[in-house]
Amino acid sequence: MIKNFFLADDDRDDTDLFGEALRKIDNRIVFRSAANGKELIEQLHTAKEKPEIIFLDINMPELDGWESLKTLKRNENLREIPVVMYSTSAAFIDGNRAIKEGAVCYLEKPFSFVKLKDFLQELTHSSKDELIETLKLIEASKKHNIVVA
Amino acid sequence: MDFNNERLRADLFRSRVIGPDNNGLAEEKFEKMISEVEDYAIFLLDPQGTILSWNKGAEKIKGYKASEIIGKSYQLFYPATDLENKLPHTLLEEARKNGKVVHEGWRVKKDGHRFWGNITITAIHDEQGNVTGFLKMTKDLTEKKLAEDRYKKILEELRRSEERYHKMIAEVQDYAILLLDPQGYIQNWNAGAEIIKGYNAEEIIGKSFKSFYTPGDIRDGLPDKLLKAAEEHGRASNEGWRQRKDGTIFWASVVITALHDENGTLIGFSKVTRDLTERKKYEDRILNNTVELAFKNQELENLNAELSSFAYVVSHDLKEPVRKMRIFADRQMEPDLSIEEMRNFSKKIMASAAHMQALMESVLVFSRISNENVEQETVDLNDTIRSVISDLEFPIQEYQARITSNELPAIKGIRFQLHQLFLNLLTNAIKFSKPGIIPEISITSQPAAANSLPKELAGRNQAYHHITVTDNGIGFEQSQREKIFDVFKRLKQKKDTSGTGIGLSIVKKVAINHYGYVTAESQPGEGASFNVFFPAI
């Protein structure tokens, strides 16, 4: 069971929606968010429990998604956490770059709250080991605009 | 008198050549000696010029044997033209009168060939002083004469060639060709020098060639350096600005060559100068064009980057509010929503729609700014600031912002674009003020110092106004000072400000459209300064 999520996104609506969806799935799920990469790194350094998956918005102030990904992957304590690049336009994200720099996959932000909830629900049902496999399956089903390289 | 007889000949000899007291044996020996002389024709003439004697030299030089010629007139030896001029007669008369005549001239041999003779005719007198005949001595100097003639001819050729050369130099119009003495004083002057430098020969000969150099070059010792280099290396060349008589300058290409005599002593310099002002101007134009081209190239690259940004904003930034509207509209259809929740979703939808509208308006402004086919006019920036402040009346009141401005220049430009530029800068300065602190914004103008120009404007031959807009707001990281001008770049969190991210891109675009530039300086919490550079009219 994945039950500890982190989203770094400067869009308050998106972090609210993400949190609400997770609460509705299971209110025991831990959800934390940061408004940019800098805050994310600061929070992770002081957190007692590391998240099991991190979603990174690409377009953020201070430290954007790419810079945050690089910082995470350079840190011994954080590099094992799976990272999903999370942004509005799939077309403008270099999927190869995401994988090359250490992200598990790239996800376009959904257009419906229900879809977001369904997708997150599937993730919560997979084990840590199955997580990447699940993301790939979701990608294969094309239901959630996921791109896995 | 029979002058043909032996006695008379002997008498003549004795009286003239040997003297009366000699005995007969000496006479005989002497006559014999004369007859054997080969290098001189020596013979006697009677007072009328009839030949009385002949020697080996005469035979050799003139080709006649004694038997053929004795008794004939000496006029046989003269060319026809001399006979016409009565030269033989004149010569005898002169010898008769003065005792002796010397003459050089062409004479004729028996075979008709000529030889150059050196002739001495000496009159012979009796005791009473009457002329009794003449002694004629002739030397064949043909070889010498021919050699002399050849030499004269060569000298003449040389003289002519030198004359031609001087004439040629004097008449050359495209080059100033002059001779300098070892100290650099001008010794001659040609037409080209007069045309190029404007002095005539009388004015400048005797003066130093330093007259052609600019005061700066003279201070740097350039003329002396060039002479020294020419002396050391044989030759020195230089290109640079030189001064004409009227003070105007021209771009000269100069070659100075050291001149030496046969002992290797320096006797002066030749100096050849060409006026390459036209070429220099052409080169400078090409250089300017190259700079201009590089600039245009940069503009194109920027435009390209801008287009990518445009595609990005359309696909990404505009997509985002649409996505949100869809999500929240979708959520409004969830069952069992409270009125509060419904209202909240509606608010979200309206905020997204408003954001989208703002974005689209910015995109429109931005594309209008991109249009270059707008007439340029003289815009007084003081008027621009006044009208911008009037536009910002409400935010200025709301934030109680204080805006001060010193005297600003008038520039060539597009009125509405300049309005937009200052509108965006002032809007930002108000919007990014520190919470609870009254925004203080100052606008100042000064001529741009060369070292304050951004690298994008450096090296252009143009004066700029440097206009600074300074605020006391939240500022930004110095590392962001270039990024902030990128299209749709927002430094602060979206929820903090209502920015679309286009404002500063528009500022930069307007500045570049006006052949200027904009830079920014700041530290977080320290306020920000925007430096706008515009070409001075």
Q: Which residues of B touch A112 (CB under 8 A)?
A: 326-327, 330
Interchain proximity B493–A61, CB inside 8 Å: yes
Structure tokens at A132: 């990447």
User: Considering the domain boundaries, does residue B337 fall inside one?
Assistant: no
Residues of B in contact with A109 (CB under 8 A): 323
Domain end position, chosen among B255, B275, B295: B275
pLDDT of residue B315: 67
Average pLDDT over every residue of A88-116? 81
Same domain, B390 and B471: yes
Q: Closest chain B residue to A87 measured between Cα atoms?
A: B316
Render B235-279 in DSSP notation, one character per residue.
Answer: EEEEEEEEE-TTS-EEEEEEEEEEEE-TT--EEEEEEEEEE-HHH
B359 in any annotated domain: no
From A10, A89, A112, residue closest to B327, measured CB to CB:
A112
Establish if B302 belongs to a structural domain: no
DSSP symbols for A14-57:
HHHHHHHHHHHH-TTSEEEEESSHHHHHHHHHH-SS--SEEEEE
Q: In a mutagenesis test of the B interface, which of A16, A112, A115 is the best target, namely the one with the most B β-carbons within 10 Å?
A: A112
Q: Under a CB-based contact definition with an 8 Å cutoff, are residues B148 and B116 in contact?
A: no
Q: Please indicate whether, in this complex, the C-beta atoms of A113 and B326 are within 8 angstroms of each other.
A: no
Structure tokens at B433: 């003020």
CB pairs below 8 Å between A and B: how many?
Answer: 44
B320–A11 C-beta distance less than 8 A: yes
Residues 44-103 of A with CB under 8 A from B: 59, 61, 87-89, 91-92
Residue B45 lies in a domain: yes
Minimal CA separation from A89 to chain B, in Å = 6
* Residue B289 falls inside a structural domain: no
Q: What are phi and psi for residue B25, nearest 5 degrees? A: -65, -45
pLDDT tens, position by position, B379-429 = 999 999 999 998 888 889 989 999 999 999 999 998 888 998 999 999 989
Please say which residue of B275, B297, B315 terminates a domain.
B275
Crossing angle of helices A113-125 and A12-25, in 10° steps, is 50
Same domain as B528, residue B380: yes
Q: Is residue B257 part of a domain?
A: yes
Count of domains forming chain B = 3
Q: Hey, what domains does chain A have and what are their CATH numbers?
A: 4-147 (3.40.50.2300)
In terms of domains, do B101 and B219 share one?
no
Best mutation target among B313, B322, B324 (most A Cβ atoms within 10 Å) is B324
Q: How many CA atoms lie within 13 A of B96 on its CB side?
A: 15
- Per CB-CB distance under 8 Å, the chain A contacts of B491 are 61
Amino acid identity of residue B100, one-letter, is K
B67 and B177 together in one domain: no
**Beta strands per DSSP E along B126-248:** 131-140, 175-180, 235-243
The answer on B176 and B100 residing in a single domain is no
Which of B312, B319, B494 has the CB atom closest to A10's CB atom? B494
Same domain, B136 and B22: yes
Is the same domain home to B532 and B384?
A: yes
User: Given B241, B275, B309, which residue is the final one in a domain?
Assistant: B275
Burial class (CB in 10 A: 0-12, 13-18, 19+), B216: exposed
Å from B319 to nearest chain A CA?
7
- Do B116 and B249 fall into the same domain? no
Cβ separation B330–A113 shorter than 8 A? yes
C-alpha distance from B298 to closest chain A C-alpha (Å): 25
My answer on whether B382 and B531 are in the same domain is yes
How much is the ipTM here?
Answer: 0.82
Asked, for residue B397, whether it belongs to a domain, the answer is: yes
Residue B70 corresponds to which amino acid?
I
A113 interaction partners in chain B (CB closer than 8 Å): 327, 330-331, 334
Asked whether residue A117 carries a pLDDT value surpassing 70, the answer given is: yes
Say whether both B187 and B64 belong to one domain: no
Identify the segments of chain B with pLDDT beneath 70. 1-24, 309, 312-315, 370-374, 487-501
Give the separation between CA B268 and CA B236, rounded to whole angstroms. Answer: 13
Name the minimum distance, in Å, from the CA of A129 to any CA of chain B: 32
Residue B497 has what pLDDT? 44
Tens-digit pLDDT profile for residues A14-67: 999 999 999 999 989 999 999 989 999 999 988 888 999 999 998 887 888 999
In chain A, which residues have their Cβ closer than 8 Å to the Cβ of B327?
17, 110-113
Confirm if B186 and B194 have CB atoms less than 8 A apart. Answer: no
B129 and B182 part of one domain: no
Q: Are residues B530 and B441 in the same domain?
A: yes
Does residue A24 belong to the interface with chain B, where contact is any CB pair within 8 Å? no
Range of the domain at B60: 6-140
CB pair distance less than 8 Å for B312 and A92 = yes
In a domain, B350, yes or no: no
CB contact under 8 A, B326 and A17: no
* Portion of chain A with pLDDT greater than 70, in percent: 87
Which chain A residue has its CA at the smallest distance from B308's CA? A92
